[in-house]
Structure 1
Amino acid sequence: MYANKSIKPRVLVIHTGGTIGMQPSENGYTSVDGFEELVREKLDQSVHDTLPEFDLVELDPLLDSANLSPESWSTIASKVIEHYAQYDGFIVLHGTDTMAYSASALSFQLRGLSKPVIVTGSQIPLYELRNDALDNLITALIIAGFHPVPEVCIYFNGRLLRGNRSRKIKATGLDAFDSPNYPWLGQVGIHIELHSGLIRPAGTPQLAAANYQPGAVAMLPIYPGLPQSVIKATLTDKQIRGVIIQSYGVGNLPNHDKELMKLLEGAGKAGKVLVNLSSCLQAQVLHGTYATSAGLDKIGIVSGGNMTPEAAYSKLHTLLANSTNSEHVTALMQQDLCGELDQSSTSSSHSASSGSI
């Protein structure tokens, strides 16, 4: 990738907050100043001469990822865009709780990448003697600096995952992330093994931080006995322009609930974008497999295919931030824009190249 081996690649590390940079306090782990000094001190004790050059910038204020909002996704994307020409790769240090949301959102704002954007963090702070932070950081630096992975990825505990296919599956395990509906892009053991056939090719960068609209997207989980008041509040709220419906199995809804179906149909007619997504960890929505989903297309509900909830939510948020045309947004939700879904898993046959955010 780099013909001149005497010139080290340069990586920008964007520290957003999260466990990796925290220290204990009276109120539990919290972000503190001095993280860059700690990073360089730890790296000075390791094989730092084999690492790429790197600079580190921090968000101000640093945030526990539980406190991030869609506006934060735009802030992180803006940092990458601002420095895109100056660096060979990027690392986003991030808390694990909403890491999959941010990685997904970044993929839709940073399309056609020609450089790696690796999102990582840790379950144990770098400050602690026994931690997973140092290995995650060192490996992310090596991948971002020396390997042709022009995607937004999550690297965590030996797994390189497409960002918009990733989910946090364990709260305390070091192997906290996986991609249930897509293979790993690589695994790291004694060697770094990348699966080049799965990695998206470098493209022409289409980098644009989205102007997210607060409250534009809601998620409506379907469960037995779901109160009508919750359904109505979600589907009739004028601020909400799109709803991710988390249904059963392959997209089944309680179609005997006439009030639910009436509210869904009314929301579609009112111009809300309605996307059906399975609540199962591994699944794809296939309308018409059962009678309980056979009529959903007719009332304006589209399949989200096999997208993760994090990808569907951030994708819809990004599309609505850039378009007021609900029909256009609905069509793009069924298209694969940057590897977030299998095109065959939706009812649409649009080509991925036709999608313009």
Structure 2
Amino acid sequence: MSDSVLVLHTGGTIGMVDTGDGQAPVAGALGPFLDWIVENSRGELPPIAFTELDELIDSANATPESWCTIARILYERRADHHGFVVLHGTDTMAYTSSALSFLLPNFGKPVIVTGSQIPISRTRSDGRQNLIGALQVAARPDVGEVTLLFGEVLLRGNRATKIDASGLDAFDSPRFPPLAEIGIDIVVKHALARSPEGEPGLTAGRLGHVAAVRLFPGFSASILTNLCRPPLQGLVLEAYGAGNGPSHDKEFLAAIEAATSQGIVVVVVTQCVRGSVQPGAYVTGSALMHAGAVPGFDMTCEAALTKLAVLLGQGLDPATVAATMQRDIAGELTVHREADPSRT
């Protein structure tokens, strides 16, 4: 293994150039900028190997197949490099960083997902700072997990969410502290960093069919009924507050019960920026659990959705998936007490 860092360009704003129809990622356009930055770093940056997806994508066009393709490339080249940087568009970056944490269990090497709000070819681009920070973290020995770096923070990949459509500090992790602060120095919070608990693996295959839906006052049970049809296997329900829903709406609860009885795994997360689902705290939350849903505790919607897709893609039975959704497997959730097995 060399001390090099593999930079995988998937697309996104960081490598976009102006075209007749607007900005778009163009193959071969980003590489020269990266080479120039590394060559002129006076040894402050590690040597890099650069590769691009066969077809670069705006991250709004990313799919679960994109996640699997990225995971396979990283896994296949794991032994060749010290660390990995994935350049990605911001729109779905939190989904990809979450997915990679589940698709690459116990990877044991730094995987930093980053990008920019302004193309790196522009004078005032934030891409240069984010890239440099990502390369420096990827060269370190102490952050061997999937992370997302943007602005002045390094976040656990499956705890990150996009909070700003145009600001340069576009990502945050409201329910879990940053793993490192990117300031004059890179200060890693070693007590928060995860270590591998087994051999590195790759679970990138066919992923399960999942969806997410957000509750709102007046939510119609027919929405759930229509959504919970084949081939759907899993549903993330973004509920109110501590995991609450309309407990007086019998048709709504019946729709959840019908879905879970058909083997669809329904996971409840909170709409709130901070906090956690608290099973049993309120009658309105208990009603969802009695209908067969399971708590996602403090998982983000992005983490819950991608974790559910990965687990279902492994061919596990619904009860096993429901139970595993309530357990921490990659640092994605905090369980303050044992989940009640009867709810699975």
TM-score interval w.r.t. the shorter chain? over 0.9
Q: Which of the residues 58, 62, 69 maps onto 2:56?
A: 62
Q: Which of the residues 33, 37, 53 maps onto 1:38?
A: 33
Amino acid at match of 2:317: N
Please tell me the root mean square deviation across aligned C-alpha atoms, in Å. 1.6
CA distance in 2, matches of 1:176, 1:238: 36
CA distance in 2, matches of 1:32, 1:285: 43
| Aligned pairs (5 A) from 1:1-357 | 9-34=3-28, 35-44=30-39, 46-213=40-207, 216-235=209-228, 237-344=229-336, 347-348=339-340
CA distance in 2, matches of 1:210, 1:275: 22
Question: C-alpha offsets along residues 47-69 of structure 1, whole Å, 9 cap, x if unaligned?
Answer: 24221111011001000000001
Specify whether residues 260 and 165 from structure 1 end up closer, same or farther in structure 2 by C-alpha distance, changes over 3 A only.
same
142-151 or 188-197, which deviates more: 142-151
Q: Secondary structure at the residue paired with 2:252?
A: helix
Report the Cα offset of residue 212 of structure 1. Answer: 3.0
Amino acid at match of 2:105: R
Q: 1:113, 1:203 within 8 Å by CA — same for their partners in 2?
A: no
CA distance in 1, matches of 2:201, 2:232: 26
> What TM-score do the two structures reach when normalised by structure 1?
0.92
Q: 1:334, 1:348 within 8 Å by CA — same for their partners in 2?
A: no
CA distance in 2, matches of 1:232, 1:342: 31
Report the Cα offset of residue 8 of structure 1. Answer: 6.9
172-181 or 7-16, which deviates more: 7-16
Report the Cα offset of residue 227 of structure 1. Answer: 3.0
Q: 1:246, 1:278 within 8 Å by CA — same for their partners in 2?
A: yes
Q: Secondary structure at the residue paired with 2:139?
A: helix
Report the Cα offset of residue 134 of structure 1. Answer: 0.8
Q: 2:275, 2:298 within 8 Å by CA — same for their partners in 1?
A: yes
CA distance in 2, matches of 1:258, 1:209: 39
CA distance in 2, matches of 1:58, 1:117: 16
Amino acid at match of 1:262: A
Q: 2:236, 2:268 within 8 Å by CA — same for their partners in 1?
A: yes
Q: Secondary structure at the residue paired with 1:201?
A: coil
Specify whether residues 8 and 158 from structure 1 end up closer, same or farther in structure 2 by C-alpha distance, changes over 3 A only.
farther
Specify whether residues 149 and 221 from structure 1 end up closer, same or farther in structure 2 by C-alpha distance, changes over 3 A only.
same
Report the Cα offset of residue 110 of structure 1. Answer: 1.1
CA distance in 2, matches of 1:294, 1:42: 55
Report the Cα offset of residue 42 of structure 1. Answer: 3.6
Specify whether residues 317 and 108 from structure 1 end up closer, same or farther in structure 2 by C-alpha distance, changes over 3 A only.
same
Q: 2:38, 2:45 within 8 Å by CA — same for their partners in 1?
A: no
> What TM-score do the two structures reach when normalised by structure 2?
0.95
Specify whether residues 213 and 142 from structure 1 end up closer, same or farther in structure 2 by C-alpha distance, changes over 3 A only.
closer
Q: 1:24, 1:30 within 8 Å by CA — same for their partners in 2?
A: yes
CA distance in 2, matches of 1:119, 1:323: 28
Question: C-alpha offsets along residues 322-342 of structure 1, whole Å, 9 cap, x if unaligned?
Answer: 024011101100000010000
Specify whether residues 348 and 122 from structure 1 end up closer, same or farther in structure 2 by C-alpha distance, changes over 3 A only.
farther
CA distance in 2, matches of 1:176, 1:119: 13
Amino acid at match of 1:217: V
Report the Cα offset of residue 211 of structure 1. Answer: 1.9
Report the Cα offset of residue 221 of structure 1. Answer: 1.1
Report the Cα offset of residue 346 of structure 1. Answer: 6.7
Percent identical residues: 43
Amino acid at match of 1:140: A
Specify whether residues 138 and 345 from structure 1 end up closer, same or farther in structure 2 by C-alpha distance, changes over 3 A only.
farther
Report the Cα offset of residue 115 of structure 1. Answer: 0.9
Q: Secondary structure at the residue paired with 1:16?
A: strand
Q: 2:113, 2:149 within 8 Å by CA — same for their partners in 1?
A: yes
Question: C-alpha offsets along residues 264-283 of structure 1, whole Å, 9 cap, x if unaligned?
Answer: 11111111101111111112
Report the Cα offset of residue 242 of structure 1. Answer: 0.6
Q: Secondary structure at the residue paired with 2:56?
A: coil
Query: Number of matched residues?
Result: 340
Report the Cα offset of residue 231 of structure 1. Answer: 1.9
Report the Cα offset of residue 159 of structure 1. Answer: 0.4
Report the Cα offset of residue 43 of structure 1. Answer: 3.4
CA distance in 2, matches of 1:312, 1:54: 33
CA distance in 1, matches of 2:260, 2:338: 19
